[in-house]
Amino acid sequence: MTSQGPVKVGIIGSRFEADIHAASIQMVPDAAEVVAVASPTPGHPEALAEKYGIPRVFHDYHEMLREPDIEMITITAPNYLHCQMTCDIANAGKHVVCEKPLSVTIEEADQMIDTCERQGVLLMYAEELFFTPKYVKAKEMADEGALGKLYMVKQMEKHFGPHSQWFWDVDRSGGGAFMDLGCHGIAFCYWFLNRPKIKSVYAQMGTYVHTDKTKGEDDSICIIEFENNARGLIENSWARRGGMEDRIEVYGEGGVTYADLHMGNALPTYSEYGYGYAVEKAPTTKGWTYPVFEELWNYGFPQEMRHFARCTRGKEEPAATGEDGRVVQEVLYAGYESARRGAKVELPFCPIGVKRPIDLWLLG
Amino acid sequence: MTSQGPVKVGIIGSRFEADIHAASIQMVPDAAEVVAVASPTPGHPEALAEKYGIPRVFHDYHEMLREPDIEMITITAPNYLHCQMTCDIANAGKHVVCEKPLSVTIEEADQMIDTCERQGVLLMYAEELFFTPKYVKAKEMADEGALGKLYMVKQMEKHFGPHSQWFWDVDRSGGGAFMDLGCHGIAFCYWFLNRPKIKSVYAQMGTYVHTDKTKGEDDSICIIEFENNARGLIENSWARRGGMEDRIEVYGEGGVTYADLHMGNALPTYSEYGYGYAVEKAPTTKGWTYPVFEELWNYGFPQEMRHFARCTRGKEEPAATGEDGRVVQEVLYAGYESARRGAKVELPFCPIGVKRPIDLWLLG
Amino acid sequence: MTSQGPVKVGIIGSRFEADIHAASIQMVPDAAEVVAVASPTPGHPEALAEKYGIPRVFHDYHEMLREPDIEMITITAPNYLHCQMTCDIANAGKHVVCEKPLSVTIEEADQMIDTCERQGVLLMYAEELFFTPKYVKAKEMADEGALGKLYMVKQMEKHFGPHSQWFWDVDRSGGGAFMDLGCHGIAFCYWFLNRPKIKSVYAQMGTYVHTDKTKGEDDSICIIEFENNARGLIENSWARRGGMEDRIEVYGEGGVTYADLHMGNALPTYSEYGYGYAVEKAPTTKGWTYPVFEELWNYGFPQEMRHFARCTRGKEEPAATGEDGRVVQEVLYAGYESARRGAKVELPFCPIGVKRPIDLWLLG
Amino acid sequence: MTSQGPVKVGIIGSRFEADIHAASIQMVPDAAEVVAVASPTPGHPEALAEKYGIPRVFHDYHEMLREPDIEMITITAPNYLHCQMTCDIANAGKHVVCEKPLSVTIEEADQMIDTCERQGVLLMYAEELFFTPKYVKAKEMADEGALGKLYMVKQMEKHFGPHSQWFWDVDRSGGGAFMDLGCHGIAFCYWFLNRPKIKSVYAQMGTYVHTDKTKGEDDSICIIEFENNARGLIENSWARRGGMEDRIEVYGEGGVTYADLHMGNALPTYSEYGYGYAVEKAPTTKGWTYPVFEELWNYGFPQEMRHFARCTRGKEEPAATGEDGRVVQEVLYAGYESARRGAKVELPFCPIGVKRPIDLWLLG
C-alpha cells in the first residue's frame, strides 16, 4: 500500500448507501478517493462508476480485493453479508468500513472483530451520528459541563419505510425499524454518554402500519439503563409520515439541549410548482416542505469518511469501532428479547445460536 | 340552589392552584363566580379573597359547605385530603371539582365516585389538558381522520420541581414526578385515543437530581399499551432546567402533528433588563426567554371552569369525570409496580391496601 | 337603552367579517349579544341569523337603527359605505364599531368623528391587533422596559388576496394591499409606541402578481418615522403564497422580541387525508400545514368585542378610537403619495378632495 | 508560480477576519494552504501564525508580495486600505481576494478593477453569502422555479456592534451598519435575482443607540428596485441585542422560502453553567442560548476559499468579482444619498470626489 496522497477506497455495493459513500468521499478529496466499486448486478456498479468517475468496476468483490493499491473497503451490502465480506476484506489485508448495523448476529460481530484484529486491519463502524456536526456540537457542550450530570439522552429516527426492498424481509435484514434505525440511537446514546456500561434494555414494539409488507416491527420504543445512572430513550419508526425525522434531546441536571436535523435545519418553503429535491424520503416538493441544504454534510458522512481515511493512515484513532457495533448488536438482541418478555433484560445478554435478532421477539 | 346567573363556587385551598381557579373563573363571568374560599392557614384565604374580590372566607371548609347558595366546590388541597373532602362536599349536596390526581389510592377513588353517585352530585375531574385549546385542535384533527389510524400519542410535562413543598414529601403526595405530572399524560393519551381499554403499563423511573429533597422519583418514562393497538408514551420530570415544557406528538398511519404549549406558543425574547413575568416556573426574565401570553387560557383553565359550571347546571355532560381519574389512578399503581418489577403490568391491576402508589416502587 | 345584562348589538353586513363579529360576540356572552343583523342581499342576513341564532333580520340597516334596545352597531360593509353608515348610526343615538380602515377619505374620517362626538356616541375603531393576546404580551413587556428604548417596530400581514371580491375593485376599496392590510400595521406601530407624533411616511409598492385582477397594489413596504426617534416598518402583500402571515418584530436598545400568529402558534401537521379547517386562507389541509387553534381568540376579536361592549356601558375607555383610524387614514394618504413621488412625505398631510387614497399613487 | 498541489495563500491582516480566512483555508487542504501572514502590529501576525501553523510572518505586506510562490493574497485590513493593497498585489502579479466592502469610494473600486485587469490577475470579492450553503439551497430552489417569478428578496444582518474598533470610526470605515452589513444584503439580493439592472435605491437610517460611539448609522433599512420588477429589502443593525441575526426571506408569485442562519440552525440550549462558545457575538452561554455548529462552514467561508483557490488555478470562474463589489459600492452611495434626501435615488449614481459614502448622508 502507498501512504502518500488520498487513501484509495473500494466500495462494495452500488445503491443508496454506496452512492452516499461515493459522494461523501468526493467531498474530501484531500483524504480519500474511490478507485473501485464492486456489485454483482450487471449495470449497477457501472452506473455508480460513471456518476462519480470511478475507474474500476467489479461484479465480484473478491476480485476487487486483489487490487494491491486499494487500502480501505466500505461495505454497503445487506446486513447478512457483512460478516463474510468483512472477513474476506481483512484476510486481503485491507481496512474495513462496515455500514450499520455491524452484523446480524453477535457471533458474527465477534468473528468480524477477531478476524480484523488477527489480520492487523481496522474494523471501522460506519455510525455517521458520531460525526453529525449538530450532534457533535451537543456533545461538545455536554462534555464541557454545560448541562451538568446527564440523566437522559433521547434520539429519534423515523420515516415511512426503508429505501431498499430487502429491509422489509427480516431474513435479509434480521429485524425491522428497531434494527434498521434503532442501531443509530443505541450507538448514539452510548457514545454521547461516553460509553458507560449498559445495565438493562427494555423495548416495546409492534407492526402497526405495514403488516402487508413485513413481519418486522415498524415502530419501536427502547429504554436503556446505563451504569452511571443515566438512560437512553430511543424511538424509531417506519410508520411516520411527512419525510425524515432525526432528532435528539439531552437532559442534564444543569441544562437541556435539542437538535433536529430536519425541521430544525431546514428552509420552511411553500411552493406551488415544486422543485428538484427537498430531503431524503420527502413525500413531495409541493405545498409546505422542509428542504435541507448540504444533506450529506449535515449528516456527517464526508466527515466520517475523512476520519476513516485518516485512521487508515494512522493519523487518527477510530472513533467508531467494531466493538461499538458489537455493543449495539447486544442491545438489539436484548431489545427484541425484552419486547417478547415485556420486561427489561439485564446485560450481558448473549444467547447462543440466534439466527436473527428479531427471532427473539417473533419466535421467542 | 339557584339556577339563574353564574354558578356560585367555593374553593378549598388558597395557594398556587386555588389562585388558578379563582383567576380562571373570573375570566368566565357569564358561567361562574367564586363566592367563598376556605383554607386553614390564617391570612391565606384572606389574601386570595382580597386579590379576587371573594366575599366569604372560611378557615374550616366544613363551614363553607353549609352555605346554601354555593353549588360547586373546587378542591385544590394536597392529594391525601381529596377523598375526605370530596365525600364531605357530596354529602353537603354540592358538586365537586377535584384537582389531579383524583386521590392517593384506588380505594379512595372508588369511594369518591360512589359517594358522589349516591348523593346525586357530579364528581368532575380537573384535567385541564382536555380543555387546552392547542391540544383540543390536535384531537379535532385526529378525530376528523387527518392522521389516519393513530398508533402513538406522546405527552411530556417537565420542569425543575413542584411549586409547593408538600409535593416533595411522598407521604402527602403519594408519589413524585410520575404521580404529579404523569397523571396528566395518562389522562391525555386515554382521552385523545377516545378511552380505549388499557392493556398494560410499563414505567421506568428514578431519583436522578433531587435526592436531597425527596424519596420520590424526579424523572419517569411510561409506556401504555391500549387495546386498539395504539400506545401512549409519557415523559415527566422534576429535573428539567429552563422552565416549563408541555408538549404532545401524535403519530398516525396517515400523518403526524406536534403541539408545544411553551416554546411553540411563545414570543422568543431577548432582554437585558428583564420584565414582569414570562411563564410558570421560568428561571429568569433576562437573556433569551420564551414568554407566553394568556397563560391560563392557553392551558385551558377558564374553558374547563366554564364547562364544569355548565355541567353543574345540566347544560353539558362532564368531559372529565371521577371515572377518568380512577383510570389514571390504576395506571399510576401499575406504573409504580412496573418500575419495581422492571416488567410491564397487565391491567386490571388493583392491589388491596396500598397506602401510597409510590410504595409499590419504593417498598414493593 | 337598558344598562343591565349583555349589550345588545346589531351587525351591518353578513359575510366574512360579519361572521367574525357574530362568532366573537357569542364567545363573550357576559358582555354582549347580537340581536339583529342587516344586509341588503336576500338570504345573506338570514343565513347569518340562523347560524348564530340572531333573532332579528333586516334588509335595510336604517330599519335596524330604529330598534330602541340596540345599543351598539358594528359595520362590516365595504369601506366606501363606512362614513354614511357611521353618521346614520350616530344620528340614531347608538354607539358605533367600525371595521378597518375607518373610511376612504380623511374628510370622511373627520365627519365620522365629528358626528359621533356631536351625538354623544362612541366611535370605536375595530383594530383587533390592539387586542391580539400575543401582541398585547409583547407590548406589556416593552412597556415594562424589557427592551429598553424602542427604535423599530415591524408588522407584516400577508396572504394571497382578499376574501371578498370588492377589495380588488379600488373604487369600492380605495386601495390595494397597503390600504387593506397596511392599515393594521400603521395602527399597530402607532399604538405599540404609545402614539408618538408621526414625522414622515415612505412607501414603495407595485402590482406584481395580480395585474389581471386589480389596479391596486398587491405588495407594499412602508417606513414610518416617529417623533421619538423610532420607526415602523410595515410589509403587506396579497401575493404571498402558503396561507396567512401575521408577524411582528420589536427592536429596542435593550432587547428584541418576535411574535408570529401563524407558524409561531400552530401545530405543525402532516396529513395524507386532510381535515376540516387549518386557518384563514390556508390553501389546503393536506401535506404539511400549520393549523392554528381558537383562531378568533388568538386574533383578539372576542376580547375586542367585550371591550367595546364594556365601553358602551362606560366601564372602560375605548382603546381604539376614530382618532386612531383618522391617523391611519392620513398615513395611508401619505404612503400612496410617497409611492408616487419616490420620496418620503412629511406629516401633517391632508390634501383636499382626494376621492380614494390610491389615486395619489395611480393618478397623482 | 506552481500549478500543482494546494494554492499557496498569503493573508494581509491578523485579527478577526484574518482568523476566519486561516481557519477556513485549513478546512479545505486539498485546495489551498496559508503560507504567509502580514500585519504591522508586532505580535499579531506571529500569534495567528502560531495558531494555524503558518510558516512565514511579515510586518510589511510589501515584503510578502515578493515571495515568488504565493499565488493568492487575501485582504482583511480596514476598508480604506483595500484599494492600495489590491493594486500592490496585482502589480506583484498575484491574485486578489478582497474582503467586503470592496472599497470606500467608487473611484477606488474602478481603480482596483482596472489594475487587476491590466495585470491579468483575478479580483475576487469575498462575499461569503454567495457560498452560504443554506442560502445557496434557497437560490437553487428559486432557480428551479419553485417560487415562480420573484418579486421580493429580503436579507437581514444584525448584531450589537462590530468586532473591531475601527468600524466605529467613519474615517476608516466609510460608513456605519449600512456600509458594514448592508454590503452583504445588497450583494445578496443582486446575486439571488441573477444580477438584474438596478433602477433605484431608497434608504432610511439613523444613529439610534450608539451615539456615544460613532457618527455612523447604527440601524438602516434599504429598498432596491430592480429592472425585472423585483425588489430587495435589506435591514441592518448594530443595535440588535441577543447575538447575531442573519436571515433571508424570498417571495415569489408561486411560493416563499425562509432561511435563518442562527436561530434556524441552532440547538436551543439551556445551561446553568455555561460552555465554551455559542456563536459569533453571542452575549453569554448561560441561560437559553442558540449555539450553532460548524459556524464557518454554515457561513460558507471554507467553500468560498476553496472556490477562490480553484479560480486561481483556472478551474472555476469567480462567482463574486470586483464588478459585484463595484455594484455594491454604487448602491451604498445611492443609499446614503437617499437617506439624506428622503427620496429614492435612480441609478447610475456616481458622484465625483466623495471621500466616504457616509458623507453623502452626514455632510450632503
Pick the closest to residue C332 from C124, C144, C102, C138 (CA basis): C102
Chain-chain contact of A272 with D148 (C-beta, under 8 angstroms): yes
Distance from CA of A17 to the nearest CA of B (A): 27
Which of B200, B237, B253 is opposite residue A209, by nearest beta carbon? B253
Mean confidence (pLDDT) of chain B: 96
Q: Cα(B284)–Cα(B274) distance, rounded to whole angstroms? A: 8
Which chains neighbour D (Cβ–Cβ under 8 Å, 3 or more pairs)?
A, B, C
Chain-chain contact of C290 with A289 (C-beta, under 8 angstroms): no
Residue D2, pLDDT score: 52
Residue B283, pLDDT score: 84
Chain-chain contact of D241 with C254 (C-beta, under 8 angstroms): yes
Name every chain B residue with its beta carbon within 8 A of the beta carbon of A200.
342
Q: How far from D174 is each of D10, D80, D323, CA to CA, in Å?
A: 26, 8, 19
Residue D279, pLDDT score: 87
Name every chain C residue with its beta carbon within 8 A of the beta carbon of D233.
221, 235
* Contact assessment for residue D229 and residue D200, using Cβ atoms and an 8 Å cutoff: no
E strands in chain B: 7-12, 32-38, 56-58, 72-75, 95-99, 123-126, 150-158, 198-206, 219-226, 231-237, 245-252, 255-260, 269-271, 287-289, 345-346
The residue to which cell 381604539 is assigned: C320
Pick the closest to residue C329 from C111, C151, C156 (CA basis): C111
Q: How confident is the model at residue B360 (pLDDT cuts 50, 70, 90)?
A: very high
CA-based nearest residue in chain D for residue B244: D270
Assign A139 to helix, strand or coil.
helix
Residue range D66-86: average pLDDT?
A: 97
Q: Cα(D136)–Cα(A186) distance, rounded to whole angstroms? A: 34
Which of D233, D255, D256 is opposite residue C221, by nearest beta carbon? D233
Residue A119 has phi, psi (to 5 degrees) of -85, -5
* Contact assessment for residue A205 and residue A221, using Cβ atoms and an 8 Å cutoff: yes
Dihedral sign computed on CA atoms, order D118, D122, D126, D132: positive
> pTM for the full model?
0.96
Mutation site, A253, A263, A288, interface B, largest B CB count within 10 A: A253
Q: How much of chain B is in helix, strand and coil states, percent to nearest 5?
A: 35, 25, 40
Chain-chain contact of C225 with D208 (C-beta, under 8 angstroms): no
Q: Cα(D319)–Cα(D322) distance, rounded to whole angstroms? A: 10
Residue range B276-300: average pLDDT?
A: 92
Chain-chain contact of D269 with A254 (C-beta, under 8 angstroms): no
Prior bond of D78 cis (ω within 30°): no
* Contact assessment for residue C114 and residue C208, using Cβ atoms and an 8 Å cutoff: no
C-alpha cell at D339: 437617506
The residue to which cell 445611492 is assigned: D334
Q: How confident is the model at residue C2 (pLDDT cuts 50, 70, 90)?
A: low
Distance from CA of D112 to the nearest CA of C (A): 33
For the ranges B30-44, B77-91, C272-286, which has the lowest average pLDDT? C272-286
Name every chain C residue with its beta carbon within 8 A of the beta carbon of B309.
none
Dihedral sign computed on CA atoms, order D134, D136, D137, D143: positive
Mutation site, C269, C288, C289, interface A, largest A CB count within 10 A: C288
Which of B255, B257, B270 is opposite residue C256, by nearest beta carbon? B270
Chain-chain contact of A287 with C288 (C-beta, under 8 angstroms): yes
Chain-chain contact of C289 with A289 (C-beta, under 8 angstroms): no
Q: Cα(A25)–Cα(D129) distance, rounded to whole angstroms? A: 25
Name every chain C residue with its beta carbon within 8 A of the beta carbon of D225.
204
Q: Cα(D43)–Cα(D21) distance, rounded to whole angstroms? A: 18
Cβ density class D353-364: b for 16+ within 10 Å, e for less: ebebbbbbbbee
Which of A144, A148, A285 is opposite residue D272, by nearest beta carbon? A148
Amino acid at D16: F
Residue D126 has phi, psi (to 5 degrees) of -80, 65
pLDDT over 70 at C220, yes or no = yes
The residue to which cell 455491524 is assigned: A102
Residue A163, pLDDT score: 81
For chain B, percent of residues with pLDDT exceeding 90: 95
Chain-chain contact of B241 with A223 (C-beta, under 8 angstroms): no
Residue range B106-128: average pLDDT?
A: 98
Q: How far from B280 is each of B126, C185, D273, CA to CA, in Å?
A: 19, 31, 22
pLDDT tens digit sequence for D167-205 = 999 999 999 999 999 999 999 999 999 999 999 999 999
Which residue ranges of chain A lie beneath pLDDT 50? 1
* Contact assessment for residue B176 and residue B238, using Cβ atoms and an 8 Å cutoff: yes
Chain-chain contact of D293 with A133 (C-beta, under 8 angstroms): yes
D287 or A163, which is more confident:
D287
Q: How confident is the model at residue B1 (pLDDT cuts 50, 70, 90)?
A: very low
Residue range D317-344: average pLDDT?
A: 98
* Contact assessment for residue A140 and residue A310, using Cβ atoms and an 8 Å cutoff: no
Name every chain D residue with its beta carbon within 8 A of the beta carbon of C207.
none
Distance from CA of D210 to the nearest CA of B (A): 16
Residue range D11-34: average pLDDT?
A: 97
Give C187's contacts (C-beta < 8 A, 6+ positions apart): C100, C125, C127, C129, C130, C320, C324, C325, C327, C328
pLDDT tens digit sequence for D146-161 = 999 999 999 999 999 9
Distance from CA of B20 to the nearest CA of C (A): 19
Distance from CA of D95 to the nearest CA of A (A): 23
pLDDT tens digit sequence for C102-135 = 999 999 999 999 999 999 999 999 999 999 999 9
Beta bridge partners of A235: A156, A221
Size of interface A-D (CB pairs under 8 A): 112
CA-based nearest residue in chain C for residue A285: C287
Which of A223, A233, A240 is opposite residue B251, by nearest beta carbon? A240
Size of interface A-C (CB pairs under 8 A): 30
Which of A209, A239, A253 is opposite residue B239, by nearest beta carbon? A253
Chain-chain contact of C267 with B137 (C-beta, under 8 angstroms): yes
Chain-chain contact of D223 with C204 (C-beta, under 8 angstroms): yes
Residue range D37-58: average pLDDT?
A: 97
Q: Cα(A258)–Cα(A142) distance, rounded to whole angstroms? A: 12
CA-based nearest residue in chain A for residue C269: A242
Which of D141, D258, D275 is opposite residue A275, by nearest beta carbon? D141
**Residue B121 Rama label (left phi>0; alpha psi -120 to 50; beta):** beta
Chain-chain contact of C288 with A242 (C-beta, under 8 angstroms): yes
ipTM: 0.96
pLDDT over 70 at C71, yes or no = yes
pLDDT tens digit sequence for D204-238 = 999 999 999 999 999 999 999 999 899 999 999 99
Q: Cα(A243)–Cα(A18) distance, rounded to whole angstroms? A: 21
For the ranges B276-285, C12-21, D93-102, which has the lowest average pLDDT? B276-285
Residue range B314-329: average pLDDT?
A: 98
Name every chain D residue with its beta carbon within 8 A of the beta carbon of A28.
30
- Tell me chain C's radius of gyration from C-alpha atoms: 20
Residues of C with CB under 8 A from a CB of A: 241-243, 263, 268, 270-272, 283-284, 286-290
Which chains neighbour B (Cβ–Cβ under 8 Å, 3 or more pairs)?
A, C, D
Chain-chain contact of B276 with C141 (C-beta, under 8 angstroms): yes
- Contacts within 8 Å (CB) and 24+ apart, D46-55: D47/D14, D48/D11, D48/D14, D48/D18, D48/D19, D48/D22, D51/D19, D51/D22, D52/D22, D52/D23, D52/D26, D54/D11, D54/D22
Residues of A with CB under 8 A from a CB of D: 28-30, 133-134, 136-138, 140-141, 144-148, 254-259, 264-265, 267-276, 285, 291-294, 297
The DSSP secondary structure of C181-220, one letter per residue, reads: THHHHHHHHHHHTTSPPEEEEEEEEE--S-TTT-SS-SEE
User: Can you say how many angstroms the Cα of residue A133 is from the centroid of all Cα atoms in its chain?
Assistant: 15
CA-based nearest residue in chain D for residue A142: D275
Q: Cα(B334)–Cα(B331) distance, rounded to whole angstroms? A: 5
Mutation site, B153, B159, B238, B251, interface A, largest A CB count within 10 A: B251
Distance from CA of D241 to the nearest CA of B (A): 7
Chain-chain contact of A271 with D292 (C-beta, under 8 angstroms): no
Residue range B264-289: average pLDDT?
A: 92
Which of B202, B229, B344 is opposite residue A208, by nearest beta carbon? B229
E strands in chain C: 7-12, 32-38, 56-58, 72-75, 95-99, 123-126, 150-158, 198-206, 219-226, 231-237, 245-252, 255-260, 269-271, 287-289, 345-346
Distance from CA of A273 to the nearest CA of C (A): 11
Length of chain B: 364
